[in-house]
Structure 1
Amino acid sequence: MQKTIFITGASSGLGKATARLFQEKGWKVIATMRRPEEEKELNQLPNVALLELDVTDTVKSQATISEILKSQTVDVVLNNAGYGLVGPLESLTDEQIQMQIRTNLLGVIHITKAFLPYFRERKSGTFINITSTFGLLGYPTCSIYNASKFAVDGFSEGLAYELAQFGINVKVIAPGGMQTNFTGRSLQGGMHEAYSQLVAKVSEGYSEEQIANYTKAEEVAQIIYEAATDEKSQLRYVAGKDAVALYRERLELTPEGQFEKIRQQFIF
C-alpha cells in the first residue's frame, strides 16, 4: 500500500530534498509551506500535494490537518520547519526570541498534537522531528537556538515513552552543518559590540570553505527515509560527519569535558 508523509517547511533545503526523495520512492507527499504559490519545482511532481501552512498559526494549522485527515491517510509526520537565530543574547529582541521558540519548538508540539488522536486510533504512525547538532550540545551565539532544539529533543524523548504503548514511533534527526541556504534565508541574528571578538571567532565556522565541507541536504534526507522505514525503535539519528564526530566526542569526554574544551576556544 502506498504510504504518505506530511512535511512542514518543504519550500527549501532539507524539507524540499526530503519531499523529492520520498516522491521518488513511491510515497505520496503532502508538502506544506507558508507560500505554496511560489513553489515551482515540487508542484510539477506526481503524488505531491502543496498546502499552505504556517506552524506558528496554531488555529489554521489544526484546521488544515483536520481537513487532510478527513480524506486521506498519513503514515509519517516530518516536523522540519524551523530557522536559526544566532547572536549573543544581549543582541536579540524579545520578539526575535519569542518567534524562535514559537517556530522551532511550539510549532513541533502543536503539529504533533494535531496528529496524535489520529495515530493513536490507528495504533501506528511515526513522528520525525528535525533538531540539530546544537540540540545535543551548546555553542556560543546559539543560546536561543540551542534552547529551542534541546527542547525538541527532550520533548521527543518524553513523548516517545508516552506513545510506545500505541505503536507510535517518535524519532529525532540531528544534522550537523548542511549545504543549504540555511545560512541565508533561514538564519537570523543580532550584533552587540561587546561580543564582536566572539562573533568573529564563531563566524569562521560559516565561511564558504567550511560550508563546502558540510553534508548535503540529500544525504540527510536519506537518513530521514531510513528512520521512516527501518522499523526500529531507535530515537536519535545523528546526521553528517561533523555531527557524528561532535556527538562521539561528547560521549567520550562526557558533556562536562566537551564543555570545557569548547569554552577554552572562546576565552580571549
Structure 2
Amino acid sequence: MPTIFITGASSGIGKATAQRFQSEGWNVVATMRDPSASDLGKGDALLVTRLDVTDSASITAAVAEGIDRFGAIDVLLNNAGYGAYGPLEAFATDRIRRQFETNVIGLLEVTKAVLPRMRERRAGTIVNISSIGGQITFPLGTLYHGTKFAVEGLSEALHYELEPLGIRVRIVEPGMVRTDFGGRSFDFAMGDDLADYAPTAAAMGRLFAQLAANPSPPERVADVIWQAATATGDQLRFRAGPDATDLLDRRKLQDDATFIGGIKALMAP
C-alpha cells in the first residue's frame, strides 16, 4: 500500500485528507503538535505522531518513524500553517518570524527530510497547500500572503528541480474553507495606538464576511488533494472550491487596477 505523510492533521484539511486516504486503503502518517488530541482512530495502516514544523528534531523523528513503520513515503502533504493578519506595524519581529517559520521554513524543512528517500527511489509526490492568497491579496494580510506567495514560487521552482528525478510537485489552492482558520489558526494583531488602520480593518471584516458566505467543506479540499496526489500528468496547480476558480480566473484575466478595484468595491460600507 502507498503511504502519505501529512503535516497539520489534527483538524480541518489535514484531518479530512487523512480520512480520505484511509478510505482509499493508503497507509497514513498523520502528524500534529499534540497527537493526544487526535480522534483519527487506530489501525495498522495509521500512524499518528508528533511533528511541529518549527522544531527540526521533531521533523527528523517523525519522518524516520513513518519510514520505519511503512517502508517509504510516497506522498508528502505540506498542510500545516496559520494566518497572521493585521497592520505590519502591529507585529513584533518574533511574530513575523513565527509566520514565516511555520508556513515557509517548516514546509521546506519537512520537504528536505523526505527528499533523500524519494530521490533514491526516483519516485514520490509533494503536495503543498497554498491558497487563493498565494495568487491574490486581501487587506492586512502582508505576512500571510507573503508566505503563500512564497509557497507558490518555491513549489514552481521545485517542480523544475525534482521532475527529472521522478518526483512530482503539486500546489493546491483552496478558497474559503469551513475550518478553524478564524480561530486557533488565525493570528490577528491590532494595537490600541494604531487607530489609523481601523477603517481598513472594518473593511476587511466586510470583505471576509462576503467571501466566507459559502465556504467549501474540508472534504472538498481533500478530494482535490487526492486528485493532485494521484494525477499522472504534469499539472502543477489544482484549485479547490468554486470561489477559488472564480477569483483566480478573474485575477488572471484582469489587470491590477481592475482586479484591485473590484476587491475595494467589496470592502465598501
- Give the TM-score, by structure 2 length: 0.93
**How many Å apart are 1:43 and its aligned residue?**
2.6
Query: Aligned AA for 1:248?
Result: D
Q: Which runs of 5+ in 2 are unaligned?
A: none
C-alpha deviation, 1:140, in angstroms: 1.1
- RMSD of aligned residue pairs (Cα, Å): 1.8
Q: Is the 8 A contact 2:176 2:211 kept in 1?
A: no
* Cα distance, 1:262 vs structure 2: 3.0
C-alpha contact 1:43 1:49 (8 A) present in aligned 2: no
Partner of 1:199: 201
What aligned pairs does 1:71-90 form with structure 2 within 5 A after superposition?
71=69, 72-90=71-89
* Aligned partner letter, 1:215: S
The question of whether the paired residues in 2 share the 8 Å contact of 1:92 and 1:189 is answered with no
Letter in 2 for 1:58: S
1:69 counterpart (67, 70, 78) = 67
Q: Secondary structure at the match of 1:227?
A: helix
Shift of 1:217: 0.5
Structure 2 counterpart of 1:163: 162
Partner of 1:233: 234
Matched residue of 1:153: which SS? helix
Instruction: State the alpha-carbon separation in 1 of the partners of residues 4 and 251 from structure 2.
Output: 33
Q: Helix, strand or coil: the match of 1:43?
A: coil
1:87–1:125 distance in 2 versus 1, CA, 3 Å = same
CA distance in 2, matches of 1:267, 1:14: 31
CA distance in 2, matches of 1:22, 1:267: 42
SS at match of 1:50: strand
Q: Would the aligned equivalents of 2:78 and 2:107 in 1 still touch at CA under 8 Å?
A: yes
* 1:176 matched residue in structure 2: 175
Q: Given the alignment of the two structures, is residue 186 of structure 1 paired with residue 185 of structure 2, yes or no?
A: yes
Deviation at residue 87 of structure 1 after TM alignment = 0.8
Letter in 1 for 2:72: T
Question: CA separation of 1:18/1:253 partners in 2, compared to 1, >3 Å: closer, same or farther?
Answer: same
Partner of 1:54: 52
Equivalent residue of 1:97, what SS? Answer: helix
Q: Does 1:211 align with 2:216?
A: no
What secondary structure does 1:5 align onto?
Answer: strand
1:212 CA drift (Å): 4.5
Supply the distance in 2 between the matched residues of 1:15 and 1:45 (Cα, whole angstroms). 18
Cα shift at 1:211 = 3.3
8 Å Cα contact 1:179/1:212 also seen in 2: no
Distance, in Å, in 2 between the alignment partners of 1:239 and 1:29 is: 22
Distance 1:48 1:199 in 2: 43
Instruction: Tell me the secondary structure at the aligned position of residue 172 of structure 1.
Output: strand
TM-score by length of 1: 0.93
Shift, 1:138, TM fit: 1.7
Is the CA contact 2:67–2:73 (under 8 Å) kept in the aligned structure 1? yes
Q: Does 1:43 align with 2:29?
A: no
- 1:247 has 2:248 as partner: yes
In structure 1, how many angstroms separate the alpha carbons of the residues matched to 2:261 and 2:56? 40
Equivalent residue, structure 2, for 1:98 = 97
AA aligned to 1:54 is D
Find the aligned partners of 1:267 and 1:240 in 2 and give their Cα distance.
25
Return the offset for 1:110: 0.5
**C-alpha distance after superposition, 1:65-101 (max 9, x if no partner):** 1343245211000000000101111112211111000
* Residues 190-218 of structure 1: per-residue CA shift (max 9 Å, x gap): 113211111111112444x7534111100
8 Å Cα contact 2:87-2:197 kept in structure 1: yes
Q: Provide closer, same or farther for how the CA distance between residues 172 and 255 of structure 1 changes in structure 2, counting only shifts above 3 A.
A: farther
1 CA distance for matches of 2:268 and 2:31?
43
Number of equivalences: 265
Of residues 65-74 and 162-171 in structure 1, the stretch that sits farther from structure 2 once superposed is 65-74
Name the % identity.
42
Indicate the SS of the match to 1:183.
coil
Is the alpha carbon distance of 1:89 and 1:123 closer, same or farther for their aligned partners in structure 2, counting shifts above 3 Å?
Answer: same
